């Protein structure tokens, strides 16, 4: 896996997080805090956490490559 691929995966994670957040907001506006809204928030949270961790790994790898 290259650094470019890792950065693309980070961007995809954040796009999915935005998608799930918008689904959750739409579900709450129409039906209140139901099952779909809670599941969407959980998926969004998971995507944000994984995206941040992957971005931190990207920065560490890039920093170690730049030092060499």
Which residues span the domain enclosing 62? 3-67
pLDDT of 25-68, one tens digit each? Answer: 999 999 999 999 999 999 999 999 999 999 999 999 999 999 87
pLDDT of 3-17, one tens digit each? Answer: 999 999 999 999 999
Cα→Cα distances 60→3, 11, 53, 57, Å = 11, 17, 11, 5
- Residue holding tokens 């995809």? 12
Structural domain count, the chain: 1
Terminal Cα distance for the chain, rounded: 19
């Amino acid at each position: 896996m290259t650094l470019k691929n890792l950065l693309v995966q980070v961007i995809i994670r954040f796009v999915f997080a935005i998608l799930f957040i918008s689904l959750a907001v739409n579900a709450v506006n129409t039906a209140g805090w139901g099952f779909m809204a809670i599941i969407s928030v959980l998926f969004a949270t998971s995507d944000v956490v994984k995206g941040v961790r992957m971005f931190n790994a990207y920065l560490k790898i890039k920093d170690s490559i730049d030092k060499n």
